[in-house]
A and B are shown apart, each in its own frame.
Chain A
Amino acid sequence: MGIRLKVLFVLLVTCVLHQTLFAALRWRGVGPHLLLLMAVAGAMVGEADRAAVIAFLCGLLTDLFLQTPLGLSALAFSLVAVGVASVQSSVIRSTWWIPPLTAFFASSAGIVLYGLLGAIVGQSHLVRPVLLLVAVAVGGVNAALAPLMVKAMSWAMTDRVQSSFAR
């Protein structure tokens, strides 16, 4: 199976899980954001340009099920993915705790960025004190799920290029 097909497969599975199982398992309205995690994981294991495109698609799928304008999550996720990929490129030696830590900070940043960009395009209700709390909570849950997602994305995005987190 080619990289594109594998990524598409992971994207669809992640989207269905995000919209069904993980949308139902929430605590006080907050749960993991699997599509954001996929965008971050893609940036951890792949090249910046490819990660940005995957993150954009993850964001578009997220936007399809929200009331906020289409393209808002796509924009936020792409920026986060490029940021993660840039930082990731400077990692010389990987350890087991880097993916969860990266997922925590990147997911939190993604939520905050989504809120801030939303405020710019007229969704001012997204920026309120609880945003930071939600960002940290989503970051924490995504961090716990990061090893699994990184493995999935390593499988999907590995062809000739071997990721530092593939093993």
Chain B
Amino acid sequence: MAVYRRSASPRFVLLLLVLTAVTLLTLDERTGGLGVVDSARDTARDVIAPARDATDSAVRPVANFLQGIIHYGRLEEANTRLREQLAAREAELAQVADAQRERQELLDQQRLEFAADIPAVAARVVLASPSSLDMTVEINRGRQSGVSPGMPVVSGAGLVGRVVDVSRTRATVVLISNPTSNVGVRLASGEVGVASGRGSRSALEVDNVDPAAKVAPEEPVVTSGLQQSIYPPGIPVGKVRTARVPPEGVQQEVTVEPFADLRRLTFVKVLQWGAKP
């Protein structure tokens, strides 16, 4: 039998809770990254970190297995394609090794490797955002490893994002695909613009590109590093996916596909650049 005991004052309780929530929201907004609120967040993250590590080790194989089942058809297809590619690549291996040696020599000579002169902290991505609406990841390095808010984060392929929150042992990285992310970029043609995130499955959108500029698909895009930029110059961001000038448009509509696979990040580097220690 359904029994319901009439509540004494749900409206009063709700009013109190709403007022408390609004107070907390205001407090969080006013302190702007300082104070009790952030200390509570840091502590919570540090406390849960060991449990996350343990779960990550236990769950990763299961998650990989489940993903394997879900994507079985695609995997089988990819497997066949990869076998064919492997045969072709083996034939090219000798040439590649030679080219690699030459490339390394060039890099050593001209120091063209991106961000090579910026000290970096290697980190492992331990978890995606617990929210379905945030494009952030958590890494296993924090304040004690020299990570600070604002530091750029890169993978071997290119720019990943920047650190927004740091606790003692953990840091939160907002990805360049997050709608709040804006990156000053330079196209291969020399044009500069601002690449904004549009969600995890969408390309970045570049604003402020002159409609007269010639922008070609597949054109590489790097960070511009203009004055007061939060990213150092020359970090690969992605390649142009589409570029078109809308009728009577004052700027081009350019989309950029990030080089880094932001949905499958494992290891990243935090560049100790720009942010004060």
Chain B binds chain A: yes
A contacts, CB < 8 Å to B: 15-16, 18-21, 23-31, 33, 47-50, 52-53, 56, 59-62, 64-72, 74-75, 78-79, 82, 85-86, 88-89, 91-94, 111, 114-115, 121-122, 125-126, 128, 130-131, 134, 137-138, 161-164
Query: Which residues of B from 93 to 147 have beta carbons under 8 Å from A?
Result: 127-136
Q: A52-B14, A52-B17 are in contact. Are A66 and B131 (CB under 8 A)?
A: yes
Which residues from chain B contact A78 at a C-beta distance below 8 Å?
Answer: 14, 17-18, 21
CB distance from A98 to the nearest CB of B (A): 10
Does B200 interact with chain A (Cβ within 8 Å)? Answer: yes
CA distance A56 to B112 in the complex (A): 52
CA distance A134 to B27 in the complex (A): 29
Which residues from chain B contact A24 at a C-beta distance below 8 Å?
Answer: 55-56, 59-60, 63, 127
Q: How many residues does chain B have at the interface if contact means C-beta atoms less than 8 Å apart?
A: 61
Q: A121-B25, A128-B199 are in contact. Are A18 and B10 (CB under 8 A)?
A: no
Is B2 a contact of A82 with CB atoms below 8 Å?
Answer: no
Is A20 a contact of B48 with CB atoms below 8 Å?
Answer: yes
CB distance from B223 to the nearest CB of A (A): 21
Is A162 a contact of B136 with CB atoms below 8 Å?
Answer: no
Residue among B13, B44, B200 facing the most chain A CB atoms (10 A cut-off) = B13
CA distance A79 to B15 in the complex (A): 10
Which residues from chain A contact B41 at a C-beta distance below 8 Å?
Answer: 64-65, 70
A and B contact pairs by CB, cutoff 8 A, 19 listed: A19-B52, A20-B56, A21-B55, A23-B130, A24-B56, A33-B132, A48-B13, A62-B130, A64-B44, A65-B45, A68-B134, A70-B41, A75-B18, A78-B17, A82-B10, A85-B7, A130-B199, A134-B133, A164-B1
CB distance from B137 to the nearest CB of A (A): 11
B contacts, CB < 8 Å to A: 1-5, 7-10, 12-14, 17-18, 20-25, 27-29, 37, 40-41, 44-45, 48, 51-52, 54-56, 59-60, 62-63, 66, 70, 127-136, 164-165, 172, 174, 178-180, 199-201, 263
Is B133 a contact of A94 with CB atoms below 8 Å?
Answer: no
CA distance A52 to B55 in the complex (A): 30
Residue among A59, A67, A89, A91 facing the most chain B CB atoms (10 A cut-off) = A67
Is B59 a contact of A28 with CB atoms below 8 Å?
Answer: no
Which residues from chain B contact A111 at a C-beta distance below 8 Å?
Answer: 132-133
